[in-house]
């Protein structure tokens, strides 16, 4: 018998979160990021739900783009990591993909390729993330070379990725933003800068395009709370059942390294009960997509599949939801009786205060 684990995907919530992202930047076009199988939510189903809303999608690799095209998605798709070998340029052309160019060899491959029609190129500037991209001097040189090859390159954009847009202290972000903004103005380049954190809390970084990603799936990427008046709805609900209930004394250490100590006398466990099991079970969990959902309500949780209960909050009923409300909140809240029953929860990772264990976001009906 399979473990009682099911991931439910609320596509209506996904669309509402996209509308929220778009409303935050009305002068920008918002490209929905669907990389990593839409952060585990099912890229094709999410793309179909967002078709007609999002003017473009972004994925990491060409394999992800092929899967969307094979599924009938005709919306423009940007390859955030570009090509991995020169031979992929033929597929980029055949599938009408847009590509990021962040390395010298990619640039040379594009300039050596002879397309039937010019390829859309987004040149990447390293504004401080220091993973992919060119320095300012390199980018100016490469931009000029690409502009001189209109038979090979079209729709040239400047793209960058902020490393500190999520922080409450925005001093580093402001320096990064000023650098890339000045570079864009000097080149007369259309800009694509704002990831989810910058979309949420840095309107000056909104460009011709924004790239909301994890926020579309209901996760708050900021170090602190969401801006006033902004609400995001969790898109995934993971349902499971309790597998064991342990009675522990208050102050007992639980798990590897004893990093968590009980504050109540009872701990409840449901499969999967470890990070490894969570990853494995999510890969096998059947997904159920829907386009309608109840309105969310806030709550809190300590860990996706490691709830802690107490006499004050007995074992949950099917009406309970595991939720993660405000930043830094790590308690649990239950309603119901002591009868074990299905527990809805969500594995969407949501960061709160720095240094906290990865917390999860969901809702109660």
Rounded distance between C-alpha atoms, residue 142 and residue 56, angstroms = 25
CA-closest candidate to residue 100, choices 136, 68, 69, 61: 61
Residue keyed to tokens 């980029």: 92
Task: Yes or no: say if 190 and 207 are a contact pair by the CB < 8 Å rule.
Answer: yes
Which DSSP symbol is given to 28? S
Tell me the two tokens of residue 104: 């010298």
Exactly one of 18, 124, 217, 256 is catalytic; name it.
256
Cβ pair 337, 295 in contact under 8 A:
no
What residue has token string 């930043």?
A: 327
Q: Please say if 124 is a catalytic residue.
A: no
Active site residue 35: yes
Tokens standing for residue 90: 């033929």
Say which of 35, 39, 113, 217 is annotated catalytic: 35
- End-to-end alpha-carbon separation of the chain, Å? 28
Q: Report d(CA 254, CA 99) in Å as an integer.
A: 47
Catalytic annotation, residues? 35, 256
């Amino acid at each position: 018998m399979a473990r009682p684990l099911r991931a439910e995907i609320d596509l209506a919530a996904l669309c509402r979160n996209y509308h929220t992202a778009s409303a935050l930047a009305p002068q920008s076009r918002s490209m929905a990021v669907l990389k990593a199988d839409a952060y585990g939510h099912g890229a094709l189903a999410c793309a179909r739900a967002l078709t007609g809303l999002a003017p473009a999608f972004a994925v990491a690799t060409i394999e992800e783009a092929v899967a969307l095209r094979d599924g009938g998605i005709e919306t423009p798709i940007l390859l955030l990591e570009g090509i991995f070998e020169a031979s992929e340029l033929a597929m980029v052309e055949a599938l009408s993909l847009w590509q990021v160019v962040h390395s010298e060899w990619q640039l040379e491959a594009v300039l050596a390729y002879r397309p039937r029609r010019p390829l859309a190129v987004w040149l990447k500037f390293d504004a401080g993330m220091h993973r992919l991209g060119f320095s300012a001097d390199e980018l100016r040189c490469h931009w000029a070379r690409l502009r001189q090859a209109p038979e090979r390159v079209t729709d040239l954009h400047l793209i960058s990725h902020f490393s500190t847009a999520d922080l409450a202290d925005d001093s580093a972000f402001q320096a990064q933003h000023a650098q890339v903004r000045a570079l864009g103005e000097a080149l007369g380049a259309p800009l694509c800068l704002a990831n989810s954190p910058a979309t949420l809390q840095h309107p000056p970084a909104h460009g011709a395009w924004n790239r909301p990603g994890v926020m579309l799936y209901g996760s708050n990427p900021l170090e602190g709370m969401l801006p006033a008046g902004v609400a995001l709805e969790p898109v995934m609900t993971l349902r499971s059942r309790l597998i064991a209930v342990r009675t522990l004394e208050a102050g007992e250490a639980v798990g590897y390294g004893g990093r968590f100590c009980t504050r109540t006398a009872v701990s409840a466990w449901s499969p999967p009960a470890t990070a490894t099991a969570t990853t494995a079970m999510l890969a096998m969990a059947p997904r159920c997509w829907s386009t309608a959902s109840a309105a969310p309500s806030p709550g809190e949780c300590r860990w996706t599949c490691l709830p802690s209960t107490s006499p004050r909050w007995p074992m949950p009923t099917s009406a309970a939801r595991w939720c993660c409300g405000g930043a830094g909140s790590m308690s649990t809240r239950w309603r119901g009786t002591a009868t074990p029953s299905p527990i809805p929860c969500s594995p969407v990772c949501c960061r709160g205060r720095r240094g906290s264990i990865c917390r999860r976001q969901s809702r109660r009906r």
